[in-house]
């Protein structure tokens, strides 16, 4: 026994397995990314940076672990449809105000759209004729209009204008098919092209069309459903056109998805508006968020520069003292479990090898 002492390999094996089990529990149940980064930054002695201009932040040389206190004016980010990964339920959709584009470039102009202008012109022309106001100019006398209203009918006093505005908006053959067919029937024409030719030639000037209330409502609904896709598409296109920041500058992001602006939430999300109201709602939102005051503070968790020369900085909220100690304790526990698993695993292997050698040299030992 003196020359071949007992090798307690089983005890080392149990300790190694227990350490691995605790380590796996830490890895799967507790996010370790932040504790490790914060502990390393604390050990390195990270700097605290305050900046109110882009140039100040550029000169500071931001590194992972630094504490930032930023304020200024920037633009809420807009993601492309293929890369959207932020707050898909952001109250400022399609803007994501948990990410701020901050640079010295002039603010982008508000988006404009000829298609939206044409769609709104058509809607307004139909609405004016179906729901006339006393102060509106009309091609018929007030007495005749009053008599028509009393009879329960609805008068289109400028039918040619509706045809021309429809042709201007729906230039493609497969666009607004139902609306075109309805106008062809009202104009007693053989097809849409013939009706448009008559309107362009001035042959529909002064042509009035009488509609039953049901037909008038149907025409109004057709105009609404026909113009809606144009406005929705143009709103989405305009949003994506803003997803082209100038080269350089910074993109400041909260990795927790916290809003970095102090703006009142819209009473109604943009895409909950009817299509006809989306464009004006989008322009109001863009006017507010394309150059808005922001403030951001936190600990830098990642820094990288994209192909456009924009430096992306992710921030995590600054923990309190108890949070710091919790992060430090979590990191130390993880390191202790790694050391314990490696040391006891090696010891268990070596002792098991010695145990087998001992048993082979003394087969009579039980």
Q: pLDDT per residue over 5-39, tens digit each?
A: 445 667 778 888 888 888 777 767 666 666 666 66
Structure-model confidence comparison of residues 8 and 231, the more confident one: 231
Residues 222 and 169 sit within 8 Å (Cβ to Cβ): no
Q: Residue 287: what pLDDT? A: 92
pLDDT class of 323 with cuts at 50, 70, 90:
low
Q: Taking all residues of the chain, what is their mean pLDDT, rounded to a whole number? A: 82
pLDDT-derived band at 285 (thresholds 50, 70, 90) equals very high
Q: How many CA atoms lie within 13 A of 246 on its CB side?
A: 11
Asked whether the predicted pLDDT for residue 215 surpasses 70, the reply is yes
Model pTM?
A: 0.72
Q: How many whole angstroms separate alpha carbon 315 and alpha carbon 294?
A: 14
Q: Please choose, from the candidates 70, 69, 64, 68, the residue with its C-alpha nearest in 3D space to the C-alpha of residue 34.
A: 64
Q: Compute the Cα dihedral for 126, 132, 136, 138 and give only its sign.
A: positive
DSSP 121-159: HHHHHHHHHHS--TTS--SS-HHHHHHHHHTT-EEES-H
- Give the pLDDT band of residue 283 (cuts 50, 70, 90): very high
201 HSE (CA, 13 A, CB side)? 7
Give percent above pLDDT 90 in the chain: 38
Top-confidence residue, 81 or 319: 319
Neighbours of 197 (CB within 10 A): 13
CB–CB of 155/209 below 8 Å?
A: yes
Q: Taking 70 as the threshold, does the pLDDT of residue 279 lie above it?
A: yes
Straight-line distance from the first to the last Cα atom of the chain, in angstroms, rounded to the nearest whole number: 12
Among residues 198, 212, 118, the alpha carbon closest in space to that of 160 is found at: 198
**pLDDT greater at residue 208 or residue 75:** 75
Q: What is the mean pLDDT of residues 231-237?
A: 93
Give 269 or 65, the one with higher predicted confidence.
Answer: 269
Domain boundaries, the chain: 9-30+321-361, 47-111+254-267+277-316, 114-239
Average pLDDT over residues 152-160: 83
Provide the sign of the torsion angle of the four alpha carbons 293, 298, 301, 305, taken in this order.
positive
């Amino acid at each position: 026994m003196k020359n071949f002492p007992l090798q307690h390999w089983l005890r080392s094996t149990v300790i190694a397995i227990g350490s691995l089990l605790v380590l796996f529990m830490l890895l799967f149940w507790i996010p370790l990314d932040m504790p490790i980064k914060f502990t390393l930054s604390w050990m390195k002695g990270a700097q605290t940076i305050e900046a109110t201009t882009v140039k100040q932040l550029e000169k500071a040389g931001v590194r992972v672990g630094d504490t930032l206190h930023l304020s200024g004016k920037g633009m809420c980010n807009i993601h492309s449809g293929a890369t959207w990964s932020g707050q898909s339920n952001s109250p400022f959709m399609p803007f994501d105000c948990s990410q701020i584009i901050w640079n010295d470039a002039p603010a982008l102009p508000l988006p404009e759209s000829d298609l939206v202008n044409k769609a709104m012109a058509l809607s307004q022309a139909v609405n004016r004729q179906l729901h006339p106001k006393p102060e509106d100019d009309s091609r018929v006398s007030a007495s005749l209009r009053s008599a028509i209203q009393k009879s329960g009918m609805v008068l289109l006093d400028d039918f040619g204008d509706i045809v021309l505005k429809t042709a201007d908006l729906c230039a493609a053959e497969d666009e607004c098919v139902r609306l075109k067919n309805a106008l062809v029937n009202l104009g007693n024409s053989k097809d849409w092209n013939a009706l448009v030719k008559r309107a362009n030639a001035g042959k529909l000037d002064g042509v009035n069309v009488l509609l039953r209330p049901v037909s008038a409502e149907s025409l109004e609904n057709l105009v609404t459903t026909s113009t809606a896709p144009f406005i929705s598409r143009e709103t989405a296109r305009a949003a994506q056109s803003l997803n082209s920041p100038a080269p350089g500058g910074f993109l400041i992001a909260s990795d927790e998805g916290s809003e970095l602006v102090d703006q009142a939430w819209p009473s109604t999300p943009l895409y909950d508006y009817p299509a006809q109201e989306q464009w004006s709602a989008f322009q109001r939102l863009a006017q507010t968020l394309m150059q808005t005051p922001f403030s951001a503070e936190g600990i830098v968790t990642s820094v990288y520069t994209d192909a456009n020369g924009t430096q992306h900085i992710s921030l995590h909220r600054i923990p309190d003292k108890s949070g710091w100690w919790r992060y430090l304790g979590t990191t130390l526990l993880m390191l202790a479990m790694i050391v314990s698993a490696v040391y006891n695993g090696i010891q268990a292997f070596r002792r098991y090898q010695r145990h087998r050698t001992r048993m082979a040299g003394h087969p009579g030992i039980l």
